[in-house]
Amino acid sequence: MIKLYKKYLKEVLSFMNNRIMQKEIVTDSLGSLNSQIKLNQPVKEFLVLQQVYEAGIKEIRTKLEILDDEFKIKHDHNPIHHMEYRLKSLDSIVNKLKKRNLEVSLESMVENLTDIAGVRVICNYVSDVYRIAELLVKQSDIKLIQKKDYIKHPKENGYRSLHLVVEVPIFLAERVQPIAVEIQIRTIAMDFWASLEHHLRYKSDSEVPDGVRDELIECAKTISHLDYKMQGIHEELNKSKKRIKSS
């Protein structure tokens, strides 16, 4: 089956790989792809499923945008600084299934992988991270599958972020299909550290020396301290604003 996908999806893979962590998702119609590539049935089924995962991202994106807009009106504050989105490439999907010694099939992909559709939410303050997560998961059509709090319990390398896997229903023409979407919620400062740490680690030709690893962990702690300090300043300014309004 792997050879089958590789044979028919050379151009489609290029199309998908360009989508990773995009700011916007551009949906190409299946008809347009059909006119460029002669697709067999398994490939068509994959593309249809891919569009469903795209819909999952759009559903989560819309919900978060609505919450952010509501906060701006009610509290004069946007908790979300910006959002990023990505669909896992076919190569990554196949490699992950093989690494776990799982069957490489569409059914196995849906059943075993929860990070095919991904949304990254960058918030201004730590309190915004938890507020947005709480408001999202309490919505009646959202089912929380998994939660990992790397802010309260950072990874050994210093990484901090709140990870959620949620299930959202996608209403299609003839059925409703639940889709898992992975959501990473972090502050601007956490995202700054994570992006640079990732860049430094993958640019290094050899294993990162212990001294450098310790420096990165120390930087993560410093950035975390800065996060809470900035939040404290934000809260103090809000209190002053409220006192002025009430006087």
Residue 185 · residue 129 · CB < 8 Å = yes
CA distances from 200 to 18, 193, 208, 213, 220 (A): 22, 10, 9, 11, 14
Residue 58 · residue 118 · CB < 8 Å = no
Q: Compute the distance between CA of residue 117 and CA of residue 165 in angstroms, rounded to an integer.
A: 10
Residue 139 · residue 109 · CB < 8 Å = no
pLDDT score of 91: 87
- What pLDDT, in 10s, does the model give residues 2-17? 454 454 444 444 444 4
pLDDT score of 97: 93
Residue 71 · residue 77 · CB < 8 Å = yes
Largest CA distance in the chain: 72
pLDDT score of 205: 58
Report H helices in the chain: 2-8, 10-17, 30-36, 41-75, 90-99, 106-112, 126-137, 188-203, 210-246
Residues 6+ apart with CB under 8 A from 155: none
Q: Compute the distance between CA of residue 124 and CA of residue 228 in angstroms, rounded to an integer.
A: 11
pLDDT score of 39: 46
Q: Compute the distance between CA of residue 16 and CA of residue 35 in angstroms, rounded to an integer.
A: 17
- What pLDDT, in 10s, does the model give residues 52-90? 999 999 999 999 999 999 999 998 899 999 999 999 988
Residue ranges for the chain with pLDDT beneath 50: 1-2, 4-5, 7-39
